[in-house]
């Protein structure tokens, strides 16, 4: 695929075709990294890593614990 470098304010820009943007789930405002090699330029989206339960539990502190909620007496064979 061929495209052109165009002026955008004081900078230069390369417009991404719609099919490429959709394929890589890119939209306006998505952060990317730009790496310049000797003979190439790589534009890569910055993806958030998947949050795990372990990551979430690590963030628990006495300051962000919710208040205790009473759910009432057991109604059946629940063990409290």
- Structural domains in the chain, sorted by start: 5-58 (2.10.260.10)
Q: What is the DSSP string of 1-24?
A: ----EEEETTEEEEPPPHHHHHHT
Question: What is the value of pTM for the model shown?
Answer: 0.51
pLDDT (tens digit per residue) in 50-60: 889 999 999 99
Nearest to 13 by CA among 24, 32, 38, 25: 32
pLDDT on residue 77: 83
Query: What are the pLDDT digits (tens) for 28-73?
Result: 999 999 999 999 999 999 988 888 999 999 999 999 988 888 888 8
């Amino acid at each position: 695929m061929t495209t052109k470098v165009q002026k955008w304010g004081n900078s230069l820009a390369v417009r991404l075709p719609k099919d490429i943007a959709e394929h890589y789930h890119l939209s306006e405002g998505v952060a990317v990294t730009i790496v310049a090699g000797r003979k190439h330029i790589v534009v890569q989206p910055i993806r958030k890593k998947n949050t795990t339960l372990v990551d979430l539990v690590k963030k628990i502190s006495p300051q962000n614990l919710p208040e205790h909620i009473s759910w009432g007496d057991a109604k059946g064979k629940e063990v409290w």
